Amino acid sequence: MLETPKKYTLIAGSAEGPSRLNAFDNALLAAGIGNVNLIRVSSILPPHATLVEKLDVIPGQLMPTAYGTITSDLRAETISAAVAVGIGQDDEYGVIMEFSGRCGQSEAEAAVTEMVRAAFQQRRRELTRVIVRASEHRVESIGCALAAVALWY
């Protein structure tokens, strides 16, 4: 079993690439997590986790990450990805939600914020704060938008 992360960072990036996978990889690099091994996780922020604005990572390290991503090869299409972290009481866990779609950044931010509100309502918990990070990309050839919450130690 992996250690429970103590820190989290919201990141976002977008990029073009010669293939769908390269566009995704380039978006990861733009977001600052292109040189780590992502372990995709679902949507719970550990209790007492501390928000850190800048990642401090070692190339190749394993990084639990909740992320939304979208890749498109439709020229001039606008794509966006967003993540939101919902915070309740200081001693409780938080909720992470991810969104991606063929829309602008403001629509992605609104959608993911509403998802956090719904998650807290379903859990019958009081939401005290929402933190959102998003990226928007206008496709030139093959583009990717990505937003993530990296959980680390």
Active site residues: 37, 42-43, 98
Find the angle CA(16)-CA(21)-CA(22) to the nearest 5 degrees.
45
Name which of 94, 95, 70, 64 is nearest 82 in CA terms.
Answer: 70
Count CA within 13 A, CB hemisphere, residue 148: 29
Tokens, residue 20: 């769908």
Name which of 134, 130, 44 is nearest 87 in CA terms.
Answer: 130
- What is the Cα–Cα distance from 49 to 31, expressed in whole angstroms? 21
**For tokens 């130690």, what's the residue?**
153
E strand or H helix at 131, and its extent? strand 129-138
